[in-house]
A and B are shown apart, each in its own frame.
Chain A
Amino acid sequence: MFVQYLARRAIGGFLVVLLATFVVFAFIRIAGDPAALIVGGTGENITINPERVAQVRQELGLDKPLIVQFADFLAGLVTGGLGKSYVTGRPIADELRVRLPLTIEIAFLSEFMAWVFALPLGLFSALRRGRFSEALTRVFFFVASAVPAYWLGLLVLIFVLLTFGWRPPLGLVPPTQDLVTHLQQIFLPIVVLGFVLAAGLVRFIRNAVLEVLQEPFIQVARAKGLAESTVILRHVLRNAFAPTIAFSGLRVGFLLGGVVIVETTFNLPGLGLFFVDAVARRDFPVIQIAVLILGTAFVVINLVTDIVCSFLDPRLRERG
């Protein structure tokens, strides 16, 4: 039952990603003319040489029917040839080999930092109800959800430099080469993004814990004499985890958007910076691949959160 449900979700998610990619693919070719944009940019008074445009169009296969182009694109994905950047001419696959691990690392660690901020605060404010804890969570929620990550990042960089005279070493070093330097470079970005992500999480954890505390089985657990810490750890947290993880899964788009911002702010050469550069230079093959990867990440992570939740809360497996 549950496996069937997951399979259905997986297929649905796959179709969504495919469609999203196609929409972007078609939008680029129908709403604009990539060849003209590549040759002439967007300036209004730039004269575009029509012969050159026709030549670029042919080189890039833009003269073929849309469906054929999309089929070629998909065939390329399957065979691992992701195409080349229009701007640099480098194979996109080579770029991704370096950039993707960094982006996955930043996303994962930022989400982890968000939990580090949010879990104690959310738990505290749910367990010690009162004006102070309520005000604390409230202020944290509003401030952290209003502060743009790029601004916070710049402020932190400036503050650290002016107070401690320290700035993250320039030029990203891979962790395999020098782990300490790598961590120094990556620490501020993940703290900043984690802080911003923690906003919604604190609220959610607090409410999830409050909800579980009202359940009869908590009363039973207390009535049978379990220590309060056991009640919280074994019963409350475990039951509050499932909805919170599902919530994080749904917010993964927010996380990925944040990664794009943070990579730009701290100049980390990951997928996000790749995408931003590609948009600025209208490097459409790169844009397509980036959208495909981000969409796939969204679908896969939500599938994984589904599975994790079903382990934490077996009742969820029934719904298949």
Chain B
Amino acid sequence: MAEAVAAPITRERATTVRRRIPWVGLIVSIVLALLVVAGVVGPSLNPRSPTATNAAARLKAPSAQYPFGTDELGRDIFTRALYGLRTTLFIAVPGGLLGTVIGTLLGLIGGYRRGLVDFLLQRAVEIVTAIPSLVVASVVVAVLGPGRVQLIGAVALSLTPVGVRVMRAAALRVSDSLFCEAARAMGASHWRIMFRHVLPNCLGPVAVLASLNLGASIFVETGLSFLGLGVQPPNPSLGNMLTGAASLYFTRAPWMVIFPGLIVTILILCFNIIGDMLADYFDPRLRSQTTT
């Protein structure tokens, strides 16, 4: 017992991890690629309409004709899920990336310049962090309305604080290093040091952040839609398929619930696993200390 615990963590674990990664990574990437392709081109390849109702085919269980079954209005859930997936991706991906970019830039500026700029940024981050991200996004939607652009902005804003914190920590560390001092000594401008020296050396954390943020943005977007604050019916979104009048029929037709939620879960799972593997790739040492 004691020996097992005292044994160095890194060596033995690093090998097992290295052996496992390609398979998991490969599967996850393929699944994610399939989902993205399905979301982007699927709706145009599928002749059915996501909003066409069919009274004769209400609440049909999954079958060859309706792979995911039909809902209380006889709409094809598979088609709705495809369109919903597209809606979710088209809001969550730009939102997640925008939030990552803004957070990274602000964190870079704060971590590099320090002083008053950093202080003010930190306070701004604290203000947004004090409120749950879903609530931040909801407030934005309440004021600006549930349009696509507004939703992207709401998602991005709710994710920005994480980016600032991650990037600031990385920038603080890197900007202390000798090569930054050397660049400064050679008369490089602040912008040049920030974008040519500090930022490239922080790409590891940023890549991890981007991946985890994409998972989080899907979480926020579908959450908003579930709360009835995101994409408005009759347009399907993976979140709003699980709410509203349809919920009266969920116990009679569980497939109405299972498939949209399963897609959301798989999407988030993929981004989280990729984020985790990126963290592993960029800093295996860090990982053996801080993660499972």
Nearest B-chain residue to A129, judged by Cβ: B4
B130 near A295 with CB under 8 A, answer yes
Q: Mark B247-277, 1 if CB is under 8 A from A, else 0.
A: 1001100100110110011101100110010
Q: Are A253 and B133 in contact (CB under 8 A)?
A: yes
Nearest CB of A to B141, in Å: 7
Q: In this assembly, does A69 line the interface, its C-beta being within 8 Å of a C-beta of chain B? A: no
Is A222 a contact partner of B292 (Cβ separation < 8 A)? no
Interface size on B, residues (CB 8 A): 56
Bits for B37-77, please: 1 = Cβ < 8 Å to A, else 0: 00000000000000000000000000000000000000000
Contact call A276/B229, Cβ cutoff below 8 A = yes
Collect the chain A residues with CB atoms within 8 Å of residue B292's CB.
125, 134, 137-138, 141, 202-203, 206-207
Contact pick for B135, options A17, A203, A260, CB 8 Å: A260
Within 8 A of B (CB), among A199-243: 202-203, 206-207, 210-211, 213-214, 219, 222, 228
Check: B204 CB closer than 8 A to any chain A CB: no
User: B226 and A260: CB pair below 8 A?
Assistant: no
Find out whether the CB atom of B135 lies under 8 angstroms from the CB atom of A19: no
- B143-A155 in contact (CB<8A): no
Say if the beta carbon of A118 comes within 8 Å of chain B: no
Query: Which single residue of chain B is at the shortest CB-CB distance from A12?
Result: B126
Q: Name the one of A42, A154, A260, A282 contacting B261, with C-beta atoms under 8 angstroms.
A: A154
Q: Do A16 and B258 have beta carbons less than 8 Å apart?
A: no
Report A-chain residues with C-beta under 8 Å of the C-beta of B144: 31-32
Chain B hits for A291, CB < 8 A: 131, 135, 139
Residues of B within 8 A of A261 (CB): 134, 223, 226-227
Task: Indicate if the CB atoms of A16 and B268 lie closer than 8 Å.
Answer: no
Q: Select one of B9, B226, B266 contacting A264, CB under 8 A.
A: B226
B233 at the interface (CB under 8 A from A): no
Residues from chain B with Cβ under 8 Å of A211 in the complex: 289
* A280 within 8 Å of B (CB atoms): yes
In the complex, the answer to whether A287 meets B139 with C-beta atoms within 8 Å is: yes
B291–A203 contact, CB under 8 A?
Answer: yes
Quick one: given A16-B126, A151-B261, A261-B226, are A207 and B135 in contact (CB under 8 Å)?
A: no
Q: Any chain A CB within 8 A of the CB of B290?
A: yes
B257 near A154 (CB under 8 angstroms)? Answer: yes
- Chain B residues with CB below 8 A from A282, complex form: 142
Contacting B272 at CB < 8 Å: which of A125, A127, A142, A279?
Answer: A142
Do A254 and B132 touch across chains, with their CB atoms under 8 A apart? Answer: yes
Contacts of B266 in A (CB 8 A): 146
Hey, which chain A residues are within 8 Å of B247, CB to CB?
154
Other-chain contact of A294, B127, B132, B219 (Cβ < 8 Å): B132
Say what secondary structure dominates the interface of chain B. Answer: helix
Give the interface size class of chain A: 35 or more
Interface string of A246-278 (1 = CB under 8 A from B): 000000011011001100100000000001101
For A142, list chain B residues within 8 Å (CB): 269, 272-273, 276
Instruction: Give a binary string over A103-128; 1 marks a CB under 8 Å from any B CB, 0 the rest.
Output: 00000000000000000000001010
The one of A23, A148, A284 that contacts B219, using a Cβ cutoff of 8 Å:
A148
Residue of A150, A202, A219, A228 with most partner-chain B CB within 10 A: A150
Residue of A nearest to B142 (CB): A279
Q: Let me know if B131 and A20 touch, CB within 8 A.
A: yes
Given the complex, which residues of A lie within 8 Å of B269, measured CB to CB?
A: 142-143, 146
Residue contact B127 to A23, C-beta cutoff 8 Å? yes
**Known pairs A162-B251, A261-B223; A17 contacts B142 (CB<8 A):** no
Known: A148-B261, A151-B242, A161-B251. A276 touches B228 (CB 8 A): yes
Measured between beta carbons, the chain A residues less than 8 angstroms from B219 are: 148
Specify which chain B residues have a CB less than 8 angstroms from the CB of A85 in the assembled complex: none
- Bound-state CA distance A32–B128 (Å) is 20
Q: When chains A and B are docked, how far (Å) is the Cα of A206 from the Cα of B13? A: 15
In the complex, are the beta carbons of A253 and B130 less than 8 A apart?
A: yes
Q: A28-B143, A211-B289 are in contact. Are A299 and B132 (CB under 8 A)?
A: no
**B2 sits at the interface (CB 8 A):** yes
Output the least CB separation between A267 and chain B (Å): 9
B129 in the interface (beta carbon within 8 A): yes
Q: Using Cβ atoms and an 8 Å threshold, which residues of chain A touch B133?
A: 253, 257
- The reply to whether B257 and A155 form a contact with Cβ atoms under 8 Å apart is yes
- Which one, B123, B131, B138, B222, contacts A148 given CB within 8 A? B222
B9 nearest in chain A by CB position: A210
B-chain residues with CB within 8 Å of residue A146 when the two chains form the complex: 215, 265-266, 268-269, 272
How far apart are the CA atoms of A206 and B291 in the complex, in Å? 8
Is B177 close to A, CB under 8 A?
A: no
B1-56 residues with Cβ-Cβ distance < 8 A to A are 1-2, 4-6, 9, 16
A275 to B4, CA, bound (A): 50
Q: Which of B169-212 contact A (CB under 8 A)?
A: none
Q: Is the CB of B143 within 8 A of A145?
A: no
Nearest CB of B to A147, in Å: 5
- B143: A residues at CB distance < 8 A: 27-28, 31-32
- What are 9 contact pairs spanning A and B, CB under 8 A? A16-B130, A154-B242, A157-B250, A211-B289, A253-B129, A254-B132, A279-B139, A284-B142, A290-B135
Closest 5 CB pairs of A and B: A151-B261, A257-B132, A146-B269, A146-B268, A257-B134
With A276-B228, A294-B135 given, can you name 5 additional A-B contacts, CB distance below 8 Å?
A148-B222, A162-B254, A203-B291, A253-B132, A279-B138
